[in-house]
């Protein structure tokens, strides 16, 4: 699915989350699952897609990413729970 979006990923235990932005969520998730980036997402094995929001432009998606990144962990958890109460991996829904 090629559309600008913000996404939140986590590991199996949901102890760590990451907020990112992409124009192709399916491709980006494949990259995270294959640890192509190294760094933070690979170090913490962040492979589960818990939340994503689509936007009409990349500028809008980047603005939303910055907004969410500035939030506390509790508020980010609330955002995930409001749309995905069971915190299931949403990749299958794409």
- Domains of the chain, earliest start first: 2-93 (3.40.1440.10)
pLDDT, one tens digit for every residue, the chain (94 residues) = 589 999 999 999 999 999 999 999 999 999 999 999 889 999 999 999 999 999 999 999 999 999 999 999 999 999 999 999 999 999 887 7
pLDDT of residue 38: 82
pLDDT of residue 70: 98
| Cα 29-1-24 angle, rounded to 5 deg | 50
pTM, two decimals, is 0.95
pLDDT of residue 1: 58
List all residues 6 or more positions away from 19 whose beta carbon is below 8 Å from its beta carbon.
6, 7, 8, 65, 68, 69, 76
What is the DSSP track for 9-51?
Answer: EE-TT---EEEEEEEEHHHHHHHHHTT-S-HHHHHTT--EEEE
Distance CA 20, CA 40 (A): 12
What is the layout of strands, in order, in the sheet containing 48-54? Answer: 17-24, 2-10, 48-54
């Amino acid at each position: 699915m090629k559309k600008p979006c913000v996404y939140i990923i986590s590991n199996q235990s949901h102890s760590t989350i990451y907020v990112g932005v992409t124009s192709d969520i399916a491709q980006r998730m494949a990259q995270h699952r294959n640890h192509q980036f190294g760094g933070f997402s690979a170090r913490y094995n962040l492979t589960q897609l818990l939340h994503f929001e689509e936007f009409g432009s990349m500028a809008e998606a980047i603005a939303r990413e910055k907004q969410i990144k500035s939030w506390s962990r509790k508020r980010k958890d609330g955002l995930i729970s409001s749309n995905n109460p069971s915190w299931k991996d949403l990749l299958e829904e794409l």
